[in-house]
Every structure is written in structure tokens, then in C-alpha cells.
Amino acid sequence: MSGGTEQAKPAAVFSCQEVNVHYGAFQAIKNVSLDVQPKEITALIGPSGCGKSTFLRCLNRMNDLIETCQVTGRIELDGADIYRRGFDVVDLRYRVGMVFQKPNPFPKSIWDNVAYGPRIHGVRDRAALDETVERSLRSAGLWDEVKDKLDEQGTRLSGGQQQRLCIARAIAVNPEVILMDEPCSALDPIATARIEELMYELRRAYTIVIVTHSMQQAARTSARTAYFHLGELIEHGLTRDIFDSPKHKQTEAYISGRIG
């Protein structure tokens, strides 16, 4: 702030302490403590079944939908425990948006897809909705491709366009955090590159947590990387440190392609 002094480290958006997740008798997440810093991309990597998607879904409590799922520990969003009794899960998801592995646009028009979020939160005014739709589609880099066919079915777009539509839909409610669960795994390399560019743009305005199978993707896009293995957080730090000089053997083995 004032000249010369080092800028104080901004408070974490998510602060997770000793998070454990059980599916019935199976423990999917073991004692994970992890902070998510604002306005940057955090990548969660690790082999299949390591719990990275489970952990991601704890952050907007999508795990609530699974009856057998039990979450313990503290996950704080801006200092408030989101698993506290009485914490409003609708409000949480309004603040923490999500983009899924498979593009899942609603079987409705492009306009309806993007406007759905603001509408359920009470925006009725057509002009305001139009503006939100345009702003969101522009942010998602989709506006020029669809501006003449906003009333066409969202499901008729190509896979990459559908995923960008889903991103537009998520940012239409102006969340603080966007969670992305392997957003490119169903896309070809060109569409993947576009999404990565988009994520890079969006990190200026949003905190992004992404689960990815692609090491290159994590290396290219994220500022911080967390490596999960069998439900444990093995290593967490700046992406360049993790990739250049991993502290743990396991991390190194995974990154260099020997396991996973």
C-alpha cells in the first residue's frame, strides 16, 4: 500500500482445515488443509480417484446430493464456515459457481441458459437480463459466435462452445469463485486452448479452482498447484515450484509421467 512496505498477503478466499470426507466407510479425503488465494487460478492435480474432484465439490457443497457423503473439518469462505449448521447452501452456490466436466447446457435457448441464474435470483427486468446475457457471453468469448442466434438451442452448439456457454452461465450470477471440474476433458485441443485462454482472462475478475488431468494445463494456467494422492494432499505451492522442484518423490513421479 504505502510505498516501500511489502504488500500484505491478501486473505484467503477459501480456508480449509483438516477436511475429511467419507463415503460410507470409504474415506475419500484425509486431513486436507489448503488455502485458496483470491484472483488467481489454483489447480488440483493427481491420479484418478485421488479425491481432487471430491474436494472441489466440498467447496460448493455439491457433495450434499450424495446421501452417504460425510464432511468433517472446517471449510471457510471469507471467514465463515460453510458447513456450519444454518449456513445457506443456496447463498453459497450463488457465490461459488461451477463448471462441470461434461458441458451441460440446459435444453433451452442460449439466452435462457445464461439468463437462468439471474432470473432465479429475482432479476425480472428484460433489459437488465439482456445486458447480463451480453456481458457474460462476451466475458466467455462466445458473444461474436452466437449474438445472431440467441434463441437457438444451447445444446446445438459444438462441444467447446457449449462449455463456454456453461462458463457464461456461471459468471452471469457474478460469483466470487468459479470451480471447474476437468472442464476440457471432453474437448478437442483447439477448444481446450480457447477455454484455457478464457480462464487466463477470467482470473483477473474471479478466483478459480480447477481440477485437471492435464499437467500441461495446470502448468500453463495456474498460479498455484495442489497435488493429491489417495485422498491426501501431498504437496501444495506455487505452480512453478511444484513443476520445477517438487519436494516429494510422489509428486515428481506423477509430474514426470511415471505414475498416474
For residue 251, the minimal CB distance to other proteins (Å) is 30
In contact, 107 and 154? CB cutoff 8 Å:
yes
For residue 217, the minimal CB distance to other proteins (Å) is 21
Instruction: Specify the residue, 21 or 242, whose C-beta has the smaller distance to other proteins.
Output: 21
Q: DSSP state, 108?
A: S
- Strands 177-181 vs 207-211: parallel, antiparallel or unpaired: parallel
Nearest to 203 by CA among 247, 251, 241, 239: 239
In contact, 34 and 73? CB cutoff 8 Å:
no
Instruction: Specify the residue, 99 or 226, whose C-beta has the smaller distance to other proteins.
Output: 99
Instruction: Specify the residue, 89 or 259, whose C-beta has the smaller distance to other proteins.
Output: 89
End-to-end CA distance of the chain: 44
Query: Which residues form the interface with other proteins (CB under 8 A)?
Result: 60, 62, 65, 67, 90-91, 93-94, 97-98, 100, 102, 104-108, 116-117, 120-121, 153, 155, 166, 169-170, 173
Nearest to 163 by CA among 126, 132, 190, 131: 190
Instruction: Specify the residue, 106 or 143, whose C-beta has the smaller distance to other proteins.
Output: 106
In contact, 218 and 251? CB cutoff 8 Å:
no
Grid cell digits, residue 195: 477455454
**Dihedral sign from CA coordinates of 151, 154, 155, 159:** positive
For residue 254, the minimal CB distance to other proteins (Å) is 29
For residue 208, the minimal CB distance to other proteins (Å) is 15
For residue 90, the minimal CB distance to other proteins (Å) is 5
**Dihedral sign from CA coordinates of 112, 113, 118, 122:** positive
Instruction: Specify the residue, 67 or 148, whose C-beta has the smaller distance to other proteins.
Output: 67
For residue 226, the minimal CB distance to other proteins (Å) is 21
What are the residues facing 77 on neighbouring strands? 14, 80
Instruction: Strands of the chain (E only): list them.
Output: 14-23, 26-36, 41-45, 69-77, 80-81, 96-99, 177-181, 207-211, 224-229, 232-238
Instruction: Specify the residue, 35 or 64, whose C-beta has the smaller distance to other proteins.
Output: 64
Grid cell digits, residue 257: 509421467
In contact, 249 and 65? CB cutoff 8 Å:
no
For residue 127, the minimal CB distance to other proteins (Å) is 21
Instruction: Specify the residue, 75 or 234, whose C-beta has the smaller distance to other proteins.
Output: 75
